[in-house]
Chains A and B, each alone.
Chain A
C-alpha cells in the first residue's frame, strides 16, 4: 500500500476543505477502500477520516413521516433498528443479504453508495480498465463476462454496481444529502451513480470534496411495508455479491395493485429502476400473468455485453418471483437466509 497523509477533521466544513485537495479520499468503514488500497487499485495521497465526525450517525424519524439516515450509520445498526425494519422491510432484507456480519458492523450508509464495482478486470491492475485509467481500454470486453452488465453499459465499460442496499432505496425514491464547499445540495439516489458512457472513471455526481451526510426515504415508501421484498441470486447462499437481484413492493387495494415499485441489482452500473414495469402493474390483479408482463417490460432494453445473455432471462424470473413473494406479504421477520431463493419459510411460496 502506498502511504498517505491522515487527517481527522472534527467538523463537516473541515472535512470538506481537507478532502477538496487532489488525491484525497474519505475514510469511513474502510471495508472497500482499504481493500482497494491494499491491491494498489486506488492510491489516495490523503485520507480524511470521518469516523469521528459528530452528527452523522442518527436514524431520525422526520415530521413528514419520512426517515433520515446519517451517512455514518453502520449497515447492521440500520438493518436491526426495529422501527426502521418494520417500515422499510425490503431495505432491511437487502442490507442483511449483503456481505458478512463483520463487514455489516463496519460498513456505513454513505460508503455503500460509493462502493466500487467488483469487476475482476477493475480489480486486476495488470488488466486494461477505463475506470482505473481513462482511455486504457476495457479488457472485460471479450473476456470472462458472465457477471457483467446487460443494461446501461457502453463500449468503454460493462461493469456492474455491487450494492444491495441501494436497490430498494432506488425503488423507494431515496434522496442523498451532500455537503460541499458551497453548502448543501441533494440529488435523487437514482441519479447519484453515473452510467459509464464515455467517462466510466466518473462514477457518481459527487464533486471533489463533497461528502454524503445523509440518505432520506420519503413517507410514501413506508406505504409498501405490507408487501415489500428483496430477492438475490448468488453463487453461494451467503456472503456473495448478486448475480441478479430485485426489490419489489406493492400497494394492494381491494385486490388490485394501486402502485408498484421495482428495481434491479447486478444488471447495470447503477441500481436499475424499472418504471415501465411498474406502470404495467398499476390497476392489475396481483397474479403471475401480470408479474411476467412486468418482468418482460423491466428487461425490454436489455442486451448481453458478452457471455451473459442468461442474466436477462434470470432477471425476468427474479422480478416475477420477487413480485410474487411481495404479493404474498412481508414476513414478520427477515428470513433466516435473507433474500435467498433457498429460504424456507413455512407457508411461503417456493416455486414460481
Chain B
C-alpha cells in the first residue's frame, strides 16, 4: 500500500506523502508540517509535552504512528486561538502566570482542553490534578496550572451560559 495519509490539521485538510513508516505524529507535525508548537520532551510517552488532540481526544503524539492517524482530525496548540483571540485556556495560563521555562506549556494547554472536553473533573482541584498527571512540569508550576484550568473552565461555562441566553 502507498504510504500517504489524509489528515485534517487545525481545520485544514491535507494529503501527506510519507517516505518512511516510522514517522510518528509528533515528528510529522514538527519536522514536516512546521508546527513546532508541539514539543518533543521524552519522546517515550512519559512527559506529555507532545500532547495533541486527535479526533477531539488528547494523546501523546510521540507514541502514535502518523500512518495510524490516517483520516483523523488533529488539533495542535497552533489551532486553538481564533485569530488574535486566545482560547480561554491560553488566556487563563497568562493570567495565572503559569509559565516558567514554557517548554511544557503547549502540552499542558492541549491536555487541559482535552480534560475539559472529557468532562470528568468538574471544579474539583483534586480531579484536575489527577487528570493532568500525564503532563510533567520540571519548573514545578503545578499549583498555577491547576488554578488556570479551573479558571478557564469557569470562564467557558460563563461564555456558554451567555450564548444560551
Give A contacts to B, CB under 8 Å.
Answer: 1, 3-8, 27, 29-31, 34-35, 38-39, 47, 49, 51-52, 76, 80, 99-103, 105-106, 237-239, 336-338, 344
Contacts and interface: CB of A to CB of B under 8 A. Distances in A.
Interface in B41-74: 43-45, 48, 51, 57-60, 62-65, 67-68, 70
Nearest to B133: A238
A334 to B, nearest CB: 9
28 contacts: A1-B22, A3-B20, A6-B65, A6-B67, A8-B1, A27-B68, A30-B64, A30-B65, A31-B60, A31-B63, A34-B62, A34-B63, A34-B64, A38-B43, A39-B44, A47-B65, A49-B68, A51-B68, A52-B70, A100-B48, A100-B134, A101-B115, A101-B118, A101-B134, A102-B48, A102-B60, A105-B57, A105-B114
Interface stretch (B81-89, B98-106, B119-127, B149-157): B119-127
Contacts of B124: 336
B3 to A, nearest CB: 7
A101 B130 CA distance: 9
A47 B3 CA distance: 13
Nearest to B51: A102
B68 A30 contact: yes
Contact of A6 (B21, B60, B130, B133): B21
Q: Which has the most chain B C-beta neighbours within 10 Å: A4, A51, A103, A105?
A: A105
Interface residues on B, range: 35 or more
A106 B60 contact: yes
B37 interface: no
Nearest to A337: B130
Contacts of A237: 133
Q: DSSP majority for the B interface?
A: mixed
A34 B58 contact: no
B24 A338 contact: no
Nearest to A236: B133
B144 interface: no
Given A6-B3, A35-B45, A47-B21, A106 B126 contact: no
Interface in B1-22: 1, 3, 20-22
A103 B60 contact: yes
A337 B126 contact: yes
A76 B130 CA distance: 14
Nearest to B21: A6
Nearest to B62: A34
Q: Which has the most chain B C-beta neighbours within 10 Å: A5, A38, A338?
A: A38
Please give me the 10 A-B residue pairs with the lowest Cβ-Cβ distance, nearest first: A100-B134, A238-B133, A336-B126, A6-B21, A239-B133, A105-B57, A336-B127, A102-B134, A106-B59, A102-B60
